[in-house]
Structures are given as C-alpha cells and as structure tokens.
Amino acid sequence: MAPDIINVAIASKPNAIVTTRPVNPPSRAYVTFLAGNGDYVKGVVGLMKGLRKVRSKYPLVVAVLPDVPKEHRKILVDQGCVVQEIEPVYLPENQTQFAMAYYVINYSKLRIWEFVEYEKMIYLDGDIQVYDNIDHLFDLPDGQFYAVMDCFCEKTCLPTYHDLLKTLQVTPPTPFAEQDFLNMYFRDIYCPIPPIYNLVLAMLWRHPKNIHLDHFKVVHYCTAGSKPWRYTGKEENMDREDIKMLVEKWWDIYNDESMDYKNFVATAVNTEPVDLRWFLAALPEAGTVHYITAPSAA
C-alpha cells in the first residue's frame, strides 16, 4: 500500500524547494550540516548514498544555513535527503574578534536539538562515510550522550536546545568550537562509543598497529588533504596506499548510480515490498531567507 503523502508545489522563495513530505515521518533520523556554496555538498551526497548502500532504515536530515544555494538544495532533495533550513547561531560580539564565520558555522549545529519531530538523532559530519549499518546506535539506552569526534547520538529536546544556546552565550569560544562546548555541556552524561565508529585518517600513520581497516564501520575524511572530492595525493601524508584505497572506496559509492535515489526506489518497488515513506521525505518550506557571508563548511 502506498504511503500517505502531502503534495506541494515548488516554493517561490529564493532558496526554498518543496516536494513531497511524509505525513508520518520516522521518529529517528541521521542529521548532517551544510553551509555556503562550496563543494561540500558532494560529501553530503556521498553520505546519503552510503547510508542507502548499507540499508539504513532512517532518513538523512541536512540542516542548511540560509546561504546554501537553491541548486545545492535541489541536488540533496533529488538524492532523497530531508533538507531543513536553520538560522545561524551568533556569539556575542565581545566573544569573538576573529574567525566569526568559523564559529557561526560550527555553533549553528546546535540547532539540531530543535528538530523535535524526531525522537532521536545521530549526527554525522558531511565528510564522513558509513561502510556498515550503524542503525543499532539508535537503540542505545537513553540518558547518556554517546559520541566520538563529529559523530554523536542524542535525543532531541527543546528545553535542552534552549539551555544549550543560553549556556553558549556565557561560554568563551574555543578552537574546536561546538566539539569542546558539547564535551563541556554533557560532561556528566558523556559516554564514548568505540572508535570503529569514527576512523580519523591521521590514525593510519600515528597509531598504525591499532588500525585494522576491515573493522571500521565509519571513516571520517577530516584530515587535511583527505576529502575524496578534493584528493590529489600531493598533500602531506596523503601519498599512501591505504589512503588511496579509502578514497577510491568513497568514490565507488558516490559514482554508483544504483544508489541514486530515483534508481534505488525504482529497484526496490520492482523487487520487494519495503517501506518507502522516508525516501519521500523532502524539504519543508524554508521561510524567509536571510543571507550571511560564510565559507562552506569545510
């Protein structure tokens, strides 16, 4: 039986794209973040296709700042992402004299606690790729903040969201921005999850004896020069066979047309009965767009 959906037209607002949205969206979701008009959208597309390849049951919500262009939003919607615009989070002017755009981009990620339509969310950076199904992380007991760097699982909650923003206003910014802030805020309930959920590529040469590539479920291409869509092999520590293999592995997923939303849905419909409601999720009406000057979330 086909899912109940609400059909709406393309919005007239500059960066708002609206397609179909499920009446009863899943109560869990992955979430990532995008800012600016750079090439980071490729990373998010790769992440969406990676989640699809490992047969995740849950949608990918992309929290976008207002300066993400309409063309990039359409790319994400066409790949089955749920695109949700958020307003930037600004620190008091006396808190940051330099690198304001950096702090706006990173602290704006706190807005995801406002997505209360989802009971629980797992945050993944846009330069992460998932090589094994990690849906089981949603089943971890409530009451803890489960995390490794740039990957965490937490219940959404408006009181927590408001307290996060209130606390942020009186907390001096630090070099690692929202990562340091969340470590401080959730220090009493923080619970680390195993590093197999976040292989940072620098570990390959810093702790090679501890790395078994076939054991890792999640790879984080955050090390300078390692982002697959920018990779040349000329950057420091990048001319390595293991790095080249992981970059090629990312591209295999990104270039796999069978993992494109339209092809995957068509194949699923023709082969087996599956619940496609979350695939039909799309961009809610974004509201008024206020542009800010900020670089892409690189």
Distance of CA 18 to the CA centre of its chain: 20
In the DSSP assignment, the letter for residue 74 is H
Torsion of CA 117, 137, 200, 247, to 10 degrees: -80
Mapping DSSP to helix (H, G, I), strand (E, B) and coil, where does residue 55 land? Answer: coil
Residue type, position 25, single letter: P
Q: 30: which 2 tokens?
A: 């992955």
Closest C-alpha among 124, 145, 148 to residue 135: 124
Q: Residues 42, 49, 109, 227: which is the catalytic one?
A: 109
The whole-angstrom separation of Cα 88 and Cα 104 is 6
Residue type, position 245, single letter: M
Phi, then psi, of 27 in degrees rounded to 5: -85, 0
109 is catalytic: yes
Phi, then psi, of 175 in degrees rounded to 5: -55, -35
Tally of CB atoms within 10 A around 209: 5
Residue type, position 295, single letter: P
Q: Which residues are part of the catalytic machinery?
A: 109
